Structure 1
Amino acid sequence: MTVHHMKKTTRGIAAEDLFRIHFVSDPQFSPDGKKVIFVQKTIDHEREYRSHLFLLSLADGSVKQWTFGKSKDTFPRWSPDGKTIAFLSNRSGKPQIWRLPADGGEARQLTFLKNGVRQLCWSPNGRFLIALTSLGKEETLKEHEEKNKNEKEKRKLTPLIVERLQYKSDAAGFRDDKQDVLIRIDAETGEMQALTNGDDEIISFAISPDGQTVAFAANRSEDPDFTFTRDIFLLDIDSGKTTKITDGNGFFASLSWSPDGKMLAAIGHELEYLGATLNRVWTFDIPSGEKRALTANWDVHVGDAMVGDMHSGAPSPGLIWNKEGNGLYFLASERGRVNLYHVALDGTITPSVIGDFHLYGLSIHPHHHMAVAAISDPTHIGDLYAVSLRDGRRDKLTNANEELEKELSFSKPESFSYPSRDGWDIQGWLMKPLHLEDGQKVPMVVEIHGGPHAMYGFTFFHEMQVLAAKGYAVLFTNPRGSHGYGQTFVNAVRGDYGGMDYEDIMSGVEYALAHFHFIDETRLGVTGGSYGGFMTNWIVGHTDRFKAAVTQRSISNWLSFYGVSDIGYFFTEWEVGCNVWENPERLWHHSPLKYVKNIRTPLLILHSEKDYRCPIEQAEQLFISLKHLKRETKLVRFPEANHDLSRNGPPTLRLERLNHIVGWFEKYL
């Protein structure tokens, strides 16, 4: 594509342009390989997310919108004969399965489940679907059908009785004894049958090529609150018999059957480094019971670890077997890239589609060595491409944001490596402000990602482009703890929060000042969310180098985080290395709140009211302490938003958030 970079006739992107962006994802080839159905999400004039299905004809390149209205239509999947598309839609309330004829016509609702449907797949013969829903412990499917549309209004005000350690989730809210259930649905009548009795969490499932066995990954340990494994089970549909094929010490997902049904593949690990363990590609030979980690000797994380604000939540393509059944295609995250690779059953790994971009969606042609991929890069929001699996050649198929991109100039980040204080090699990027003039000195904002086991990289980032358009240089780096640089690197932050990770970031600041002479060293800002918010708090408590800071969905106090976060009781021990009763002094040592007296940098605190990952009390403690000390600070609380505000939160609040960030830096930088 042509990038209109630095043209005076175009402008930089604004925060308000969020409402004009089209988000393209989840391409799916038709069984004959002639068409692709995909999802396009937008924000409508009511400032609400809508997503619809679009059909791409490969014969003439035409794109046609297939569904309309004020709904969220997602997760389209072709029937094996190509005559029907099953998809999820919230047009009747909760997401339900709907059927749409491939030759046109009205969509028909197939399920009426009170808690909706989260995933689906077709049986090989197309006669039924397997789907994932949830039920209360005493509920049955028949009782569960959504016959009363006003049930929410009739619900009595009752207390929440908590007996479990894991009683809430940032994504799902408070638990109410619901459990995941796999169901079999007749594709014509909608008649349903429960296949499982209820599991704590089912994260992946797949049906065998002969249609007789469902593989699923779930936690069936005696006390799931204290175990973090996901075993793989095989369920015989006719008999109902379930067999466990893993040994209780791994975390597996993204299940995929080989074409002959003799092997099952999965992405996962065995928690060797707890939450900092690299994902591998595994295979399980069903007849022999042999399991193998095909990528065990490859020091790269399997899967998409990219941090961004455009494509979060897009369905992962997982593992895709080649048609010969002797290898698999998968995404991997390496040095800021998310690219496509192939691993043979002998462990040979081959790059398939590589480059400085973020490949976030994929469907492989059923007959030819080609695929359709959803790809974004730093100056391109995201589109579908036809890609060759032989040589990686890419041909653009959609222009979802053509009108908007013609109006805009984007700053292209410059990638570089620099040494940290102890000599470790760290990757970073610097975005120049648009229309930089010779001799001009500009402020710089440092962005710090969350996780910390994630990575920045070659993807479009609206927030950073907004800052560049406003005249800021933007520095972003992958300090130790980030994915993309091997197992030792991603594990190095554990037990050392605020140690060498802090030095990695500050060394990046020094490198940028030494090599980009247009940066004004007296006008530096810093911001980040989640772990990036922790690090922002830590930085301003340990240096006065920055003139302004914005901390988002942050951690300020590990002692209280232990008990209030949905993951605090295990994440604190995994990442800091102890819990509250064994070594509270260590938790306090790593808490930014301990150093609040040192904070002289004007600090804006942004936090969501329904953030259960880093609850808002973390922000409140920091804000009250700073106000008590009469320091320059402001707290902005976002209602009806959770930890995911910057990526998938309510559109109006996403705009408010961006405007507060820009406004704070404009005031102080």
Structure 2
Amino acid sequence: MAETRGIQSEDLYQLKSVANPQLAPDGKSYVYVQTTIDEETDEYQAHLFFQTLEDESEAVQWTYGKGRNHSPCWSPDGTHIAFVSNRSGKNQLYLLNVNGGEARQLTFLASGASNPVWSPDGTKLAFNTSLKTDKTIFDEEEKEVKKTVPLEVTKMKYKSDDGGFWQGDYKQVALVDVKSGDLTQLTDGAYHVSLYCWSPDGKYLAVGADFTEETDLSFIHDVYLLDIAQQEFIPVTNGAGYFDSVSWSPEGNYLGMFGHQREFENATHPKVWLFEIHSKKLDCLTSNWDVPVGDFMVGDFQQGAVSPGLLWSNDSKGFYFIGSEQGNTNIYFGDVNSGGIQPVYTDGGHVYGMSIHSATQKAVIALSKPTAISDLYLLSLSGEPSSLEKLTDVNGSFLQDVVLSKPEPVEFSGADDRKVYGWMMKPLGFEEGKKYPLVLEIHGGPHAMYGNTYMNEFQLLAAKGYAVLYVNPQGSHGYGQEFVNAVRGDYGGGDYQDLMLAVDSALEQYDFIDENRLGVTGGSYGGFMTNWIVGHTNRFKAAVTQRSISNWISFYGVSDIGYYFTEWQIKADFRDIQTLWKHSPLAYVEKVETPLLILHSEKDYRCPIEQAEQLFIALKRLGQKTKLVRFPEENHELSRSGKPSLRKSRLDYIVNWFEENL
């Protein structure tokens, strides 16, 4: 037997992720997506796998080759799987017969296709595609001529971190006949239309859109019924909030959805809403339940995770969904008649995917825990919450020779005597009586949540001999609406106090921490807070700031979300320079003495690289120890889904900086 060891940065190439399980209509089998990394090409590969529940046979791989195959969905009769693949160089829809044979390409669109949704009779697929206002799905692909042209900008929302510079494309809805391949374009115009689901009678599609004329200052997203025959939109929500994840009850009486009315802007808890089709009444079912619906867990490993949204029982009397609560994502059941919410699975961990079969009261869930990387499980919806049967073991052979550190929960009194929760991860090979350096990790968002999921970066640090402390300061999800909203207008205030009190509490509780060897790191908001910390205390001997904010004044105009995010979070705009500067870490750069490594992606449009450049130049001008590392062609998502070699390089830079300075 090989000698056991901890996680290493190069292990990224060996680890596998499974996601998006989809149970067959008869409940006897399921299909899922498995993502791996091809080290030779330095690219991700995603393939569909099939497995039955009636025997213990191994999963069967259904797609092969290079590229990504994802978004599987069963035909109503269970004979076919529709999915999306980029095997032709562009995302298109494909159809696979479950009895075998090659996948058949359904769409050949110049604009590509995504998000397939079956019609109730199984004859058509609805899907999304992106088009310019002067183009249709019937236009042939133009031969690309590579030339440099000016980009005309007339909208404030002209770029996005995931999509780059906007080229005038709008997301539209179309249909394809699965036998003939005939196409029908249902929507057009200068607005985006998101596709959700088909009505049981086949007459309507539930879609989402913002038809506001001036979208630069609009942050709503309404739900509509799209009459397929008339191609007309029928309003469902009232233009006062943001709604998505829509699903139709099997009997056709209700639309269920997630949403909120922006009471606290982007810090508002999403809730469950029901729209009664006949009375046209929209009600919030969880208005008195202080838990955000959906998955707000911070992770750095899972690939291809898809929110299951709201999943109805066969009798349309209730539904299942995921909620984020105190460091876990749990499964709950909502009762339509009583409005009650009942826990179904609250045994700890990160549920990041789910498919149910109401008739047999079974669910297949995608689950991660700190020492259980990524697997699928069979859950009884009517049994004990802890009655799980493991279905996959995709990293089992790898983990035979690897030891993972198991975090311990911690709690303490934070700012304003609020309870703050988190976790302490001891270094591997821990020995009583020995002192160890500590790294404080700070999540992004800030409206997100650390919790009981696998964190590759944390395990790497533990393997290198570091204790790792990670907590959920005010602004984090999972601890109530008041807590998540508390950070707005107070960046660098109560959140900073929470983090410093977390370190104080850890030093009091754990005598193995060397108080003279403390490190701190974080990304995005966590990068902002890292910058803030080193400008307000010298207790940390090394720091790594990632994809960070250093100057709210310039951030307002250069980030893809700058102008509205700054107004929502700092509660000031470009006319209030004093407030923006007061909350900017750059304002306190002369107080920085901590060696600071600055990691940033060249094409990060969320926190543009000029934020890193300003901080680096200021520190160098002041003679402080610092280094700037620029990651080419990457965006804000480098740590989670960037090019594998650069993800590994990022991890190595972090570890090396702490080894050099701690």
- Normalising TM by the smaller chain, what interval? over 0.9
TM (norm. structure 1) is: 0.97
1:346-425, aligned counterparts within 5 Å? 346-390=338-382, 391-392=384-385, 393-425=387-419
**2:300 counterpart (295, 304, 309):** 309
**Runs of 5+ in structure 1 lacking a partner?**
1-6
Q: Which moved more, 1:538-547 or 1:78-87?
A: 78-87
2:287 and 2:15 mapped to 1: Cα distance? 40
Structure 1 counterpart of 2:605: 612
- What is the aligned partner in structure 2 of residue 4 from structure 1? none
Matched, 1:52 2:44: no
Corresponding residue for 1:3?
A: none
Aligned equivalent of 1:650: 643
Alignment of 1:449 with 2:443, yes or no, is: yes
Report if the CA contact (8 A) 1:626-1:632 is conserved: yes
Residue 264 of structure 2 is aligned to residue 269 of structure 1: no
Query: Which residue does 1:663 correspond to in 2?
Result: 656
Give the conservation status (yes or no) of the 8 Å contact 1:110–1:189.
no
**Distance across 1 between alignment mates of 2:353 and 2:553:** 39
Residue 470 (structure 2) aligns with: 476
CA contact (8 A) 1:180 1:199 kept: no
Show CA shifts across 1:178-199 (max 9, x none).
Answer: 1110001111222211111135
The Cα shift of 1:157 comes to: 2.1
Contact 2:172 2:194 in 1 (8 A): no
Q: What is the distance in 2 between the residues matched to 1:231 and 1:591?
A: 35
Q: Secondary structure at the match of 2:56?
A: coil
The one of 590, 596, 599 aligned to 1:603: 596
Match for residue 159 of structure 1 among 131, 150, 158: 150
2:651 equivalent to 1:638: no
Matches within 5 A, 1:571-586: 571-581=565-575, 583-586=576-579
The one-letter amino acid paired with 1:416 is V
Q: Give yes or no for contact 1:31–1:366 (8 Å, CA) kept in 2.
A: no
Q: 1:246: Cα distance to partner?
A: 1.3
Q: Contact between 1:215 and 1:255, CA under 8 Å: does it hold in 2?
A: yes
Question: 2:174 is paired with a residue of what secondary structure?
Answer: strand
8 A contact 1:83–1:103 mirrored in 2: yes
Cα distance change of structure 1 residues 109 and 377 upon mapping to structure 2, 3 Å threshold: same
Contact 2:538–2:593, Cα closer than 8 Å, also in 1:
yes
Q: Please report how far the alpha carbon of residue 203 of structure 1 lies from its aligned counterpart in structure 2 after TM superposition.
A: 4.0
Contact (CA 8 Å) 2:128, 2:194: kept in 1 or not?
A: no
Q: Displacement of 1:204 after TM fit? A: 4.4
The answer (yes or no) to whether the contact 1:231–1:246 under 8 Å persists in 2 is: yes
1:159-212 Cα shifts (integer Å, max 9, x gaps): 111111100000111111111100011112222111111353334421111111
Q: Which amino acid counterpart does residue 250 of structure 1 have in structure 2?
A: G
Task: Note the 1:508-587 alignment, pairs <5 A.
Answer: 508-581=502-575, 583-587=576-580
Q: What is the aligned counterpart of 1:236 among 215, 218, 227? A: 227
2:28 aligned residue (8, 27, 34): 34
Question: 1:255-291 deviations in whole A, cap 9, x for unaligned?
Answer: 0001111210100100000000001000001111111
2:364 partner amino acid: V
Give 3-state SS (helix, strand or coil) of 1:278's partner: coil
Q: Aligned equivalents of 1:590 and 1:288: distance in 2?
A: 49
* Aligned equivalents of 2:210, 2:164: Cα separation in 1: 19
User: Alpha-carbon deviation of 1:313?
Assistant: 4.8
- The answer to whether the Cα contact below 8 Å between 2:110 and 2:137 also exists between their aligned partners in 1 is no
Contact 1:199 1:218 in 2 (8 A): no
Q: Which amino acid aligns with 2:256?
A: A
Normalised TM-score (structure 2): 0.98
> Aligned residues: percent identity?
54
RMSD, matched Cα: 1.2
Task: Sort the Cα spacing of 1:88 and 1:457 in 2 relative to 1 into closer, same or farther, 3 A.
Answer: same
In the aligned structure 2, how far is the partner of 1:448 from the partner of 1:213? 45
Within the candidate set 229, 238, 247, 1:247 is matched to 238
The answer (yes or no) to whether the contact 1:181–1:199 under 8 Å persists in 2 is no
* Residue 644 of structure 1, CA deviation: 0.4
Which blocks of at least 5 consecutive residues in structure 2 are unaligned? none
- Please, which of 58, 62, 69 is the counterpart of residue 66 of structure 1? 62
The answer to whether the 8 A contact 2:17-2:303 is kept is: no
SS at match of 1:505: helix
Contact 1:204 1:253 (C-alpha < 8 Å) held by counterparts: no
Query: Which residue identity does 1:396 align to in structure 2?
Result: K
Question: Which deviates more, 350-359 or 307-316?
Answer: 307-316
Q: Decide which of 103, 108, 113 is 1:107's aligned counterpart.
A: 103
Q: Distance in 2 between the 1:372 and 1:132 partners?
A: 27
* Cα distance, 1:84–1:187 mapped onto 2, change above 3 Å: same
Mapped to 1, the partners of 2:441 and 2:74 lie a distance apart of 41
Change (3 A) 1:76 1:313: closer
* SS class of match (1:222): coil
Shift, 1:651, TM fit: 0.5
